[in-house]
A and B are shown apart, each in its own frame.
Chain A
């Protein structure tokens, strides 16, 4: 019998995960760690201590040349030309009809050098769209194979990293990146993440990934560090109210649908792909609203389940999971804007049976609408 995993791409750290006994899973064509032990323990480690993630499946696309900034201003909904070198921003790339092709982080490494980090499943689409949209003065190259990406996340991340790096971590701002050394190896160090915690992402050469992972593991031993898999990453980002492409974001949705209209810089000069459609969407009444739900039941709302208002379908769950931090099932869902308004009012009034529910395999399980995010860290705690 053929091993289905044999067809998947391995990261520079897959052997490490195998030695750690991780449960591996196929994800966007890559063989990735789902969890090493208990995913709840991994989740809690990130909230209270620190977690170490292999994110080498993420796409790294370089956009370089004298026209790079202008090319990205045209290709993306944001305005990367206004980024200072060393700074980064969350943005999106849209189709001409305003549909989201991917959400991205763009790092400006130098005046004429940008690193675009794309979701693994979309790297090819993004690289192609950027290539098609770039003018003569910009070169686009998919460099995913030249990078490993390690994330160190959690309140103890700084303490763990400090003895291993030459960087002054106190001076590394959120959404900034610096060339640095970690464990004696040159890396790009960024203060970014997808967990709702403070932390760092380390872009390393593939051959440096194992020694850096080992050094972080050793340094983290006294700080509660656990390796953490994709399962914990998903519950962490859900608690933090962060959208996931394929769940909250997709080609049938615009940034405005996702409540992320702020990433669309309609006031930037010049045309950009999707401008006309997005201007129209910005002016229109929203067709749906992304909301947070907390279940009153112990059964878990899952992706694709119907949201009910007075027993009638009014929306769809995009992501749902048991929340380790809240101790209850939580979900994000798209619902009709009128329902969101009424449910918000009902939650404020409290007490009475909820008119809001999720259809969990045929049973209407009551839920309450809550503001996103579900979890917000206490700064500098």
Chain B
């Protein structure tokens, strides 16, 4: 299981990468492994507002569908259009080409409660 050090994580198995005032969001390697082959991603519409902790989309895999919970507050700036053609990128490269959407952070601030890589690894270990 890969858990890059530089990312932030949620208890719902999303990751967040922050660059300036833009947060890129995806699901973790652990999450994609647990889901199995991803066949469809429904991401929030660009321009819509998302609220940390609230469901804002869903990921369909062969066996199940899971909510995507927004890890941050802000406005959706961009969604990964490539996933329409190739949702399997979420499995193949969850921290790279399998990113889901980008959010513009109002004050460039991350909400409290996000996990570090070490804390996320601990969470996954405790769930197994």
> What residues of chain A have their CB less than 8 Å away from a CB belonging to chain B?
1, 23, 34-35, 38-40, 231, 234-235, 298-300, 302, 321-322, 361
The segment from B10-18, B37-45, B93-101, B114-122 found at the interface with A is B37-45
Query: Given the complex, which residues of B lie within 8 Å of A23, measured CB to CB?
Result: 33, 36
Taking CB atoms and an 8 Å cut-off, the chain B residues in 22-42 that contact chain A are 33, 36-37, 39-40, 42
Verify B36–A231 contact, CB threshold 8 A: yes
A229 and chain B: residue at smallest CB distance:
B36
Verify A299–B40 contact, CB threshold 8 A: yes
* CB proximity of B29 to chain A, nearest CB, Å: 14
**Given that A235-B62, A302-B65, A322-B62 are contacting pairs, would A35 and B36 also be in contact in the complex, using a CB cutoff of 8 Å?**
yes
Query: Given the complex, which residues of A lie within 8 Å of B40, measured CB to CB?
Result: 298-300, 322
B61 and chain A: residue at smallest CB distance:
A322
B40 and chain A: residue at smallest CB distance:
A298
Query: Given the complex, which residues of B lie within 8 Å of A361, measured CB to CB?
Result: 58, 65
Verify A300–B39 contact, CB threshold 8 A: yes
Verify A231–B42 contact, CB threshold 8 A: no
Task: Mark contacts of B100-128 with chain A using CB atoms, 8 A cut-off: 1 yes-contact digit, 0 otherwise.
Answer: 00000000000000000000000000100
* CB proximity of B2 to chain A, nearest CB, Å: 15
Verify B91–A298 contact, CB threshold 8 A: no
* CB proximity of A29 to chain B, nearest CB, Å: 19
Query: Given the complex, which residues of B lie within 8 Å of A34, measured CB to CB?
Result: 36, 63
Most chain B beta-carbon contacts within 10 A, residue among A235, A300, A361: A300
Verify B65–A231 contact, CB threshold 8 A: no
A39 touches which one: B36, B58, B126 (CB < 8 A)?
B36
Across the A-B interface, the 4 shortest Cβ-Cβ residue pairs: A322-B39, A298-B40, A40-B37, A300-B60
Query: Given the complex, which residues of B lie within 8 Å of A298, measured CB to CB?
Result: 39-40, 60
Query: Given the complex, which residues of B lie within 8 Å of A40, measured CB to CB?
Result: 37, 62
A4 and chain B: residue at smallest CB distance:
B128
B87 and chain A: residue at smallest CB distance:
A298
**Given that A39-B62, A40-B62, A322-B60 are contacting pairs, would A299 and B42 also be in contact in the complex, using a CB cutoff of 8 Å?**
yes
> CA A1 – CA B126 in complex, angstroms?
8
> CA A302 – CA B60 in complex, angstroms?
11
> CA A299 – CA B60 in complex, angstroms?
7
Query: Given the complex, which residues of A lie within 8 Å of B39, measured CB to CB?
Result: 298, 300, 322
> CA A34 – CA B65 in complex, angstroms?
16
Known: A38-B37, A300-B39, A300-B40. 18 other contacts (CB 8 A): A1-B126, A34-B36, A35-B36, A38-B36, A39-B62, A39-B63, A231-B62, A298-B39, A298-B60, A299-B40, A299-B42, A300-B60, A300-B65, A302-B64, A302-B65, A321-B62, A322-B39, A322-B60
